[in-house]
Amino acid sequence: MNPVVFCGPSLRAHDIAPYDGFEFRPPVRQGDLYAAARGGPRAIGIIDGYFDGQPAVLHKEILWALTQGIAVFGASSMGALRAAELHSFGMRGVGHIFEACRDGELTDDDEVALIHGPPETGYIHLSEPMVNIRATLERAVAQEIIDRPTSARLAASSKARFYRDRTWADVLADVDDPGTAQELAAWLRTGKVDRKREDGLQLLKEMDAFIRRGAAQAPPDFHFEWTENWHNASWRNETARTSNKATAEEAAILDELRLRGDYARLRREALLRLLARGDDAAPDRLAVRRAMSEFRSRRRLMRQTDVIDWIHKNGTDLAGLERMIEDDAAVETLARDRDAELHRGMLDRLRELELYPGYRENALARQRQSPSLSAPMPRALLAAWFFEEQLGRAIPRDIADYATSIGLPGVDEFYDLLAHGYAFAAGRSSPDDSGLTDENGLT
């Protein structure tokens, strides 16, 4: 996906024209950045954003985008404010306005605010932002159009006005000396500073350089807290629903499932994930971490680059992987909570698949053998036999959690089961005759 930039009144049409590889969207509002981040762009830029009468972009949206490996740039207006607040978390601030906000020289949001017309008018300015007034007055002092006391007085009178009422006509009306007012008015025709535009252009240049050199966003050094408000945000859930529409490639794959006879089975399994997800509670973050660990362990995705490679091969993105893992965690949590209630259904499913007779035969044969468990077995070797030889996978880090995941009360019962299973598989009457050695190398 192309880099996304949210901008409006700070830049003009000819300013953005050279960046045909960027996707320019209207000023950002709450939920917009999250929706853009779900598309998986390498970078997102925030220049302009709404705040008066419409919910502003949340800090949490930006933090979430950073956890997805997306570089987020901010400058000029709303972008400068959010970057000043989040630069320590990895958001990239650009320009004079960002630096002034970051360093405490500017502390009020109204410094960048203005009223403007709709998009079809080119976001025509109907007021002047305070940062532009300050920068222009400073230049006027430097070029000896006005003196510094006059500049300070005009800045103070402009600051005292509501942001919607700040115009150059009002600034000129505040000049005491008519001659000075006339000279300043003539100079303003060519001397005004558009600080917001300057910073917005700098953001585009820095984003473009970031993309061209193939740079990557560093992994975040903070923990993203998945709160109930975040989980239940209406705009977040609406974005997830609208993003469910299959792409042309995905639609072709679904047709392939139909041709191979697998569609109905996978739809049934997907329904379980949908029902387990629910809409009434945030996911259990511990369960999600377990599911991610299990996912990576099974596929031997040890490094983050391995995860990224898997994502690309499977036609998804980090947001899609996160959604998949959350669904896995929801299914597993529900299954553990209702394990005993599911036993009858599991056995019925075996019957439906014509697998019940084979499982029954093996189970009864193992019962008849009843191997003795009088001597303790080396658990590490039993685990290696079960996971690596029988299942063909790595030994889980948390054996106790694995035992719980297969409906056992604890790790002791799990190893008892393995000892019985090994003795039966090896055709031994007792684990004592297995030939395995303990951790000290003794038979």
Local structure of residue 280 (DSSP, 8 states):
S
Statement to judge: residues 352 and 375 lie in one domain: no
Is residue 222 a part of any domain in this protein? Answer: no
Is residue 177 a part of any domain in this protein? Answer: yes
Angle, in degrees to the nearest 10, between helices 95-102 and 78-86: 40
Statement to judge: residues 25 and 132 lie in one domain: no
Statement to judge: residues 113 and 170 lie in one domain: no
Residue 435 pLDDT > 70: no
Q: Write out the residue range of the structural domain in which residue 74 sits.
A: 4-120+196-212
Statement to judge: residues 100 and 204 lie in one domain: yes
pLDDT at residue 339 in the model: 82
- Asked if residue 400 lies in contact with residue 411, where contact means CB atoms within 8 angstroms, the answer is yes
Residue 43's H or E segment, with its range, is strand 43-46
Among 348, 368, 388, which residue terminates a domain? 368
Is residue 242 a part of any domain in this protein? Answer: no
For residues 319-334, give the mean pLDDT: 83
3-state helix, strand, coil in the chain (%, to 5): 60, 5, 35
For the chain, the average pLDDT equals 84
**Cβ partners under 8 Å of residue 180, min gap 6:** 146, 150
In the chain, the amino acid numbered 106 is: L
Statement to judge: residues 296 and 276 lie in one domain: yes
pLDDT at residue 430 in the model: 43
Dihedral (CA of 367, 370, 375, 378) sign: negative
Among 318, 352, 368, which residue terminates a domain? 368
For residues 45-58, give the mean pLDDT: 91
Statement to judge: residues 27 and 107 lie in one domain: yes
pLDDT at residue 198 in the model: 96
Local structure of residue 105 (DSSP, 8 states):
S
Is residue 232 a part of any domain in this protein? Answer: no
In whole angstroms, how far apart are CA 210 and each of 45, 69, 213, 214, 324? 12, 14, 6, 7, 30
CA-derived radius of gyration, the chain: 32
Hey, which of 242-251, 260-269, 393-402 has the most confident mean pLDDT?
Answer: 393-402
pLDDT at residue 375 in the model: 58
Confidence of residue 433 (pLDDT cuts 50, 70, 90): very low
Q: CA torsion, points 78, 84, 86, 92, in degrees to nearest 10?
A: 80
Q: Looking up tokens 């306005």, which residue turns up?
A: 97
Residue 259 pLDDT > 80: no
The CA distance from 108 to 113, in Å, is 10
- Give the pair of three-digit tokens for residue 265: 């089975």
Residue 83 pLDDT > 60: yes
Question: What percent of the chain is modeled with pLDDT above 70?
Answer: 91
Dihedral (CA of 64, 66, 70, 73) sign: positive
How many domains does one find in the chain?
5
- Asked if residue 273 lies in contact with residue 331, where contact means CB atoms within 8 angstroms, the answer is yes
Is residue 41 a part of any domain in this protein? Answer: yes
Is residue 225 a part of any domain in this protein? Answer: no
Statement to judge: residues 299 and 437 lie in one domain: no
pLDDT at residue 440 in the model: 33
Dihedral (CA of 193, 195, 199, 204) sign: negative
Is residue 219 a part of any domain in this protein? Answer: no
Statement to judge: residues 205 and 299 lie in one domain: no
What pairing do the DSSP bridges indicate for beta strands 23-25 and 4-6? parallel
Q: Give the pLDDT confidence of 209-219 residue by residue, as tens digits.
A: 999 998 888 88
Statement to judge: residues 166 and 116 lie in one domain: no
Q: Where is pLDDT greater, at 224 or 94? A: 94
Residue 336 pLDDT > 80: yes
The CA distance from 200 to 191, in Å, is 19
**Cβ partners under 8 Å of residue 347, min gap 6:** 356
Local structure of residue 432 (DSSP, 8 states):
G
- Asked if residue 41 lies in contact with residue 82, where contact means CB atoms within 8 angstroms, the answer is no
Q: Give the pLDDT confidence of 54-80 residue by residue, as tens digits.
A: 899 999 999 999 988 899 999 999 999
Statement to judge: residues 171 and 290 lie in one domain: no
Question: What percent of the chain is modeled with pLDDT above 90?
Answer: 39
Question: pTM for the whole thing?
Answer: 0.60
Is residue 231 a part of any domain in this protein? Answer: no
Residue 240 pLDDT > 90: no
Statement to judge: residues 363 and 391 lie in one domain: no
What SS3 state is found at 45?
Answer: strand
Q: CA torsion, points 405, 410, 416, 422, in degrees to nearest 10?
A: 20
Statement to judge: residues 364 and 374 lie in one domain: no
The CA distance from 256 to 263, in Å, is 9
